[in-house]
Structure 1
């Protein structure tokens, strides 16, 4: 069976603020559907991604800001980080050796800079949206087998 992850819900407090933030990153707005006062869904897609994010009113019971570890893959973490900074996003410095710990309050063992060996999946940076939903940039230059 062939299935694909299509959309991830991101819980937010202010739909318009979130929409402005994500569109400000250069992400594409796919939909903004309102059905009365109790339902609105916005779908936004990062450039080159096959998966979108959705947020809105009446679409989730998750607490705004509770989504963590949303992973964005890039072939050039330094360039992607620089673009985010240009868009006004507070992005951490690039680090490696995090042993899978990306939450800003639990940094684990973060060594500064890109992975010295240039290992794919080894260099990261983190940022949050205005509600505190946590995003991780991960540099992937060579995919694991089967990807």
Structure 2
């Protein structure tokens, strides 16, 4: 049996601000639906990803900005860094480690993300 991670809730204070931020950095806005006055569901997917994030009202009781350790894998950390900076994101310059190249950023609520370029082994 396959167990696939397909959706991760990201706690935010302002759904529209967060949706604008994530679409500005290249996530696709897949779904935005207000179910009722207490529940709004927004699903966003990074280009090429099989896993999405969801934002909204009534989605999670986690503290906005409390997510740490979310990681996205890209073909080029340098290109990702340039794209983030061009979108106005305060991304950290690319760091090269034995297990890949990384840049880091946070969303407007402080949820923290790592962007990794996997090492190329021969």
Per the normalisation by structure 2, the TM-score is 0.93
5+ residue gaps, structure 2: none
For this pair of structures, how many residues does the alignment match? 121
Supply the RMSD in Å over aligned alpha carbons.
1.4
- Other-structure match for 1:44: 44
5+ residue gaps, structure 1: 96-113
> In the TM superposition, what is the alpha-carbon distance from 1:122 to its structure 2 partner?
2.5
Tell me if the contact between 1:28 and 1:47 (Cα under 8 Å) persists in the aligned partners.
Answer: yes
| Cα displacement string for residues 25-62 of structure 1 (whole angstroms, at most 9, x for unaligned residues) | 12111110102211001000001111000010001010
Per the normalisation by structure 1, the TM-score is 0.78
Between Structure 1 and Structure 2, which shows a larger proportion of strand residues? Answer: 2
- Other-structure match for 2:92: 92
> In the TM superposition, what is the alpha-carbon distance from 1:87 to its structure 2 partner?
0.8
Tell me if the contact between 2:101 and 2:119 (Cα under 8 Å) persists in the aligned partners.
Answer: no
- Distance (whole Å) between structure 2 residues aligned to residue 44 and residue 141 of structure 1: 27
